[in-house]
Amino acid sequence: MLDIDVLLQRGSFRRHVRIAEDARVLALTGPSGAGKTSVLNAIAGLLRPASGRIVIDGRVLFDSAARVDVPTHRRRIGYVFQDARLFPHRDVRGNLLYGRHAVRGQAAAFGLDAVVDLLGIGQLLRRRPANLSGGEAQRVAIGRALLSQPAILLFDEPLSALDKARREELIPWLQRVRDEVRLPMVYVSHTEDDVRRIAEAVHVLA
């Protein structure tokens, strides 16, 4: 599912990362500064590896030897960050629709109503982000990512800005997304509990 062999370089940080995993839902863990976010950014096309290859689900996104570097907007990445990064001046519905994309020649896999149902955010559609709890905002951010019709979902510590109660509330929604949308997922975290409950396999960046 995920076949990555890259040299990542960012300032003085230089690391060879090799991940070959068949699991659909992979957690990426490791100490702070190990390069977890850098790997997600390389998958998303936001950080260009010095060399190597990135292949997801058989799709070559980057291959320095073959001079392949698919632009970010063609990679079909749904990216969910620590903080929801919603637009404060748009309501939830506006935030969801902002992320909506069509995929040329294909019916949309994720429609607004289905995503709203999946994430239980029907009651929130008219609210502004300032009036959402942290967990609700993350559910909206996941919905926005799904409406962009991604081929893979990337999560960068989506629980880390939440208190324990909110984390507990969000985990079942993440499990639901995992089980129902059946997309490849890369889930970055450094807490064991959510990794155990969400991922099928774990790769440790040392």
Ligand X SMILES: Nc1ncnc2c1ncn2[C@@H]1O[C@H](COP(=O)(O)OP(=O)(O)OP(=O)(O)O)[C@@H](O)[C@H]1O
Residue 61 CB, shortest distance to ligand X, in Å, is: 18
Residue 37 CB, shortest distance to ligand X, in Å, is: 3
Cα distances (angstroms) measured from residue 145 to each of 18, 99, 131, 154: 26, 6, 20, 9
Does position 189 interact with ligand X (CB under 6 A)? The reply is no
**Closest-CB residue for ligand X?**
11
Cα distances (angstroms) measured from residue 33 to each of 38, 40, 122, 189, 206: 9, 13, 38, 12, 10
Q: For residues 10 and 197, which CB has a smaller minimum distance to ligand X in the complex?
A: 10
Q: CB of 15 within 8 A of CB of 1?
A: no
Site pattern 13..52 for ligand X (x: CB under 6 A): x----------------x-xxxxxxx--------------
Determine how β-strand 2-10 pairs with β-strand 13-21. antiparallel
Q: CB of 170 within 8 A of CB of 164?
A: no
Q: For residues 11 and 105, which CB has a smaller minimum distance to ligand X in the complex?
A: 11
Q: For residues 37 and 138, which CB has a smaller minimum distance to ligand X in the complex?
A: 37
Q: CB of 7 within 8 A of CB of 54?
A: no
Single-letter amino acid code for the residue at 40: L
For 15-60, the three-class secondary structure string (H helix, E strand, C coil) is EEEEEEECCCEEEEECCCCCCHHHHHHHHHCCCCCCEEEEEECCEE
Does position 106 interact with ligand X (CB under 6 A)? The reply is no
Q: For residues 32 and 106, which CB has a smaller minimum distance to ligand X in the complex?
A: 32
Residue 190 CB, shortest distance to ligand X, in Å, is: 6
Count residues contacting ligand X (CB under 6 A)? Answer: 11
Residue 32 CB, shortest distance to ligand X, in Å, is: 3
Does position 11 interact with ligand X (CB under 6 A)? The reply is yes
- Neighbouring residues of 68: CB distance < 8 A, sequence distance ≥ 6: 60, 61, 62
Residue 158 CB, shortest distance to ligand X, in Å, is: 13
Q: Which of 7, 10, 73, 97 forms a contact with ligand X (CB under 6 A)?
A: 10
Residue 154 CB, shortest distance to ligand X, in Å, is: 12
Q: For residues 5 and 109, which CB has a smaller minimum distance to ligand X in the complex?
A: 5
Instruction: Please tell me the distance from the alpha carbon of residue 67 to that of residue 71, in angstroms, as a whole number.
Output: 12
Instruction: Please tell me the distance from the alpha carbon of residue 153 to that of residue 206, in angstroms, as a whole number.
Output: 23
**Binding site residues, ligand X, CB under 6 A:** 10-11, 13, 30, 32-38
